[in-house]
Amino acid sequence: MDETSKYIDTYRQEAEELLADIEETILDLEENPDDKEAVNRLFRSMHTIKGSGAMFGFDDIAGFTHHVETVLDKVREGVVPVTGELIDLILASRDQIKAMLDAADTDEAIDIETCGEVIAALERMLPDSQKAAEGMKTVPAKKIDKPKEMTYRVRFIPDTGLFQTGTDPALLVDELRELGECVVSAQIETIPLLDEMNPENCYLSWDIMLTTAQSIDAIKDVFIFVEEESRIVIEEIFKDFSTDSEILVPRLGGILVDRGDATPEDVNQVLKPHQEQIKELFVKSGVVSQDKMKAALSEQKILDKQRFRAKSSTVRVPSDKLDTLINLVGELVITQAHLAQIVIADDRIEEIQMTNPLEIWERLVERLGNPLETLERLTHELRDCALNMRMIPIGTTFGRFRRLVRDLSVELGKEIELITEGAETELDKTVIERLNDPLVHLLRNSMDHGIQSPEEREKAGKPRKGTIRLSAAHRGANVVISIEDDGIGMDPEMIRAKAMEKGLISGDVEVSEKEILSLIFAPGFSTTSQVTSVSGRGVGMDVVKREIDSLGGSVQISEKKGEGLCISLSLPLTLAIIDGLLVDICGNFFVLPLSQVEECAELTKDLIEKSHGRNMILVRGDLTPFIRMREVFGISCAPSPAEHIAIVQVEGDRIGIVVDEILGNIQTVIKSLDKNYREAEGVSGATIMGDGTVALVIDVPALIRCAKREEERRLRIEN
């Protein structure tokens, strides 16, 4: 990357930050129209975007921002008043600048019509302006969020008898084209010779790259009438290149391996003797056909485009944190030099006539003691410092939701105020980035289902304006984020009736209120009969539960019918390093997150006998259910004569996990599993211990869910 590219990237990052600050300042100005300093902040931010944009070749952004700057200058002079129309217009201008910035990243065309509408509306705000081109409409006050697009690889291998059912595969491909951008590659290598061909059979298959904002279910629906006879594989190949992890786009060989068209050995064999003309080599070597190569190149082109769209991820780090890091690295270098001197000195021990090897060992241990203690201390401090540099205040995320609440309340015809607390609470940057979608779903759900209209609230004796309180606070090793509203709450009986209607529960089974409320997280579950642009499809809360579970967190619901609802998300501070409890089962090592472990005890024979064959024991006077990890993971060796039990807290419940031996605490650097094992339930990752042994990190909530399903299946079989 040349120097100019670095400066352009810096401008993009600075512009993104300024746009976020602009949105927050506009909303502050809406609440306090007489705030002159807010107007000055807006003007300065727009002026910076304009000046820097012109400097680095973003002439379209600079030209557009000039119109916004002109209006804000008149606002500063008191010529243009701060009205609702002005607020809507500045917000729309901010969105347009963001769209232009994104378009510059991907070389996509700018929406000239929308840009012209905003400029015309800005000019009309000026007292002496002339109307812009005739026929232009005022810029809309509300911005409709564009659905997030995903890229899927669809492999359609129809049954040879497909034509005999009257199905035309070309129509299925056309249906896919209606879902989004589609690249189709036909595979012809299975077509037989002419004298062996049956004209009534289908010998073709298709590889399709589909970029769409529709869900994977919409893609499956296209093949709903041929899925039983045909082989259909739908894989998501692009999730999010803008995460904190290293940006890795598969190269051509990797794509062929991932698609199953070649093995890693095939790719290495082809690439080893040659470096040039890769495309020709793959085809000439006979590893893949020309058609498969064409499909793989289409996928590579799409992935390159997605990578180019991805923004570089940065974190602003206070200088005092960097100073601490430099000091620790300096101490580490000194300690390393000390250890090197000891090793050099001990190489000369052989020159000293010592007849007792024990004396040599004792001398070595004595000399290594202090530097090793220092090394251990520095390692811990360096770890804490590195993690602390990744911690950012959650207020950066909270600030984005003010715009969401403002726009959606207008759309719903409701008066809603968002109150935020604990914005200074810090979380790992990766956790915060993945929190955005769950919090959006929860806020939209509160605004649509929870908060009533102003008229309904007045009838219920409540203020016309509803309140949503978004708060964050540290609680032990976790951060708890709460979304609380003063709406109508939830009706457990309504949820029970809807669940019985959908077959999620039966009428003869006793279900606690807590279990009833948790049903709102079931896929496709919704108590709303009418589907709107905001809710009613039953997918939002499912997304919340799935994402929070993947972060190693938990969700709790507390409500008072008619008074409001509170949903609490408990999340780990970081996903990179955790404190864990190392346990052993028949020589297999596992790590339980220490933040979820309350206490440990020995599972004696007396306790087992008192359970009378049930998986329940008495711990400190409380009857506690337990599961055996050996049974969940299918470990068949004989159990230890003295088993141990770790009591964990999951979603407010105490549950015991039985293991052979508890080895003690361990600091765990979590490594992701290979893609072939990522769907393994009950495991969130792995860690490498000091001796090189691999230990699996347990996803405790998923482990308990898996055990419950197995128990329910066993009971059904017995009954």
Could you read off the pLDDT of 411-433 as tens digits, one per residue?
888 999 999 999 888 888 888 88
What confidence score (pLDDT) does residue 302 get? 60
What confidence score (pLDDT) does residue 266 get? 64
Q: 3-125 adopts what CATH topology?
A: Four Helix Bundle (Hemerythrin (Met), subunit A) (1.20.120)
Asked if residue 48 lies in contact with residue 54, where contact means CB atoms within 8 angstroms, the answer is: no
What confidence score (pLDDT) does residue 145 get? 43
What confidence score (pLDDT) does residue 583 get? 92
* CA distance readout (Å), 22 to 19, 87, 493: 5, 11, 45
* CA distance readout (Å), 511 to 501, 504, 525: 15, 11, 17
Query: What does the block give as tokens for 167?
Result: 């199905």
Q: Per-residue pLDDT for 193 more than 80?
A: yes
Give this prediction's pTM. Answer: 0.59
Q: 577-718 adopts what CATH topology?
A: SH3 type barrels. (2.30.30)
User: Token match 């006793």: residue?
Assistant: 510
* CA distance readout (Å), 693 to 143, 524, 592: 53, 42, 16
Confidence at 555, pLDDT banded by 50, 70, 90: confident
Which has the closest alpha carbon to 550: 472, 435, 693? 435
Q: CB neighbours (10 Å) of residue 463? A: 12
Confidence at 360, pLDDT banded by 50, 70, 90: low
Give the class (CATH, top level) of 394-572: alpha beta
Query: Higher confidence at residue 291 or residue 625?
Result: 625
Which has the closest alpha carbon to 28: 396, 402, 408, 405? 402
What confidence score (pLDDT) does residue 536 get? 45
What confidence score (pLDDT) does residue 178 get? 86
What confidence score (pLDDT) does residue 131 get? 40
Q: Which of 153-162, 165-174, 383-392 has the lowest mean pLDDT?
A: 383-392
Q: How far apart are CA 153 and CA 23, in angstroms?
A: 37
Angle ∠(628,631,635) on CA atoms, nearest 5:
115
Check for a shared fold between 150-309 and 394-572. Answer: no
Tens digit of pLDDT for each residue in 577-614?
Answer: 778 899 999 888 999 988 888 888 888 777 777 777 67
Q: CB neighbours (10 Å) of residue 326? A: 11
Query: Higher confidence at residue 83 or residue 313?
Result: 83
Q: DSSP letter at 79?
A: S
pLDDT > 90: percent of the chain: 3
Confidence at 259, pLDDT banded by 50, 70, 90: low
What confidence score (pLDDT) does residue 470 get? 92
What confidence score (pLDDT) does residue 469 get? 92
What confidence score (pLDDT) does residue 153 get? 86
Q: Per-residue pLDDT for 260 more than 70?
A: no
Q: Per-residue pLDDT for 476 more than 80?
A: no
Query: Higher confidence at residue 497 or residue 110?
Result: 497
Q: How far apart are CA 454 and CA 459, in angstroms?
A: 9
> Domain 150-309, CATH 3.30.70.1110 — does that match?
yes
* CA distance readout (Å), 419 to 410, 448, 462, 544, 626: 17, 17, 17, 21, 41
Contacts by 138-146, CB closer than 8 A, 24 or more apart:
139/88, 139/89, 139/92, 139/114, 140/92, 141/88, 141/91, 141/92, 141/410, 142/407, 142/410, 142/411, 143/91, 143/92, 143/95, 143/407, 146/213
DSSP 153-206: EEEEE--TTGGGGT--HHHHHHHHHHHEEEEEEEE-TT---GGG--TTS---EE
Q: Per-residue pLDDT for 87 more than 70?
A: yes
Residues 6+ apart with CB under 8 A from 276: none
In the chain, how long is the greatest CA-to-CA distance?
104
Q: Which of 137-151, 215-229, 663-677 has the lowest mean pLDDT?
A: 137-151
Kindly list the domain boundaries of the chain, sorted by start residue. 3-125, 150-309, 319-392, 394-572, 577-718
Query: Higher confidence at residue 221 or residue 287?
Result: 221
Asked if residue 671 lies in contact with residue 577, where contact means CB atoms within 8 angstroms, the answer is: no
Q: Per-residue pLDDT for 185 more than 50?
A: yes
Q: How far apart are CA 125 and CA 118, in angstroms?
A: 11
Tens digit of pLDDT for each residue in 236-254?
Answer: 775 444 444 333 344 566 6
What confidence score (pLDDT) does residue 313 get? 56
Query: Higher confidence at residue 570 or residue 139?
Result: 570
Which has the closest alpha carbon to 209: 309, 302, 106? 302
Q: Per-residue pLDDT for 206 more than 50?
A: yes
Q: Which of 33-42, 49-58, 309-318, 366-375 has the lowest mean pLDDT?
A: 309-318
Q: CB neighbours (10 Å) of residue 565? A: 23
Q: Per-residue pLDDT for 312 more than 70?
A: no
What confidence score (pLDDT) does residue 323 get? 81
DSSP 473-502: EEETTEEEEEEEE-S----HHHHHHHHHHT
Q: Which of 122-131, 233-242, 595-604, 691-700 has the lowest mean pLDDT?
A: 233-242
Q: Per-residue pLDDT for 703 more than 50?
A: yes
Round the average pLDDT of the chain to a whole number and report it.
Answer: 77
What confidence score (pLDDT) does residue 634 get? 84
Q: CB neighbours (10 Å) of residue 130? A: 7
Q: Per-residue pLDDT for 273 more than 60?
A: no
What confidence score (pLDDT) does residue 345 get? 62
User: Token match 């905003």: residue?
Assistant: 118
Confidence at 386, pLDDT banded by 50, 70, 90: confident
Query: Higher confidence at residue 408 or residue 108?
Result: 408
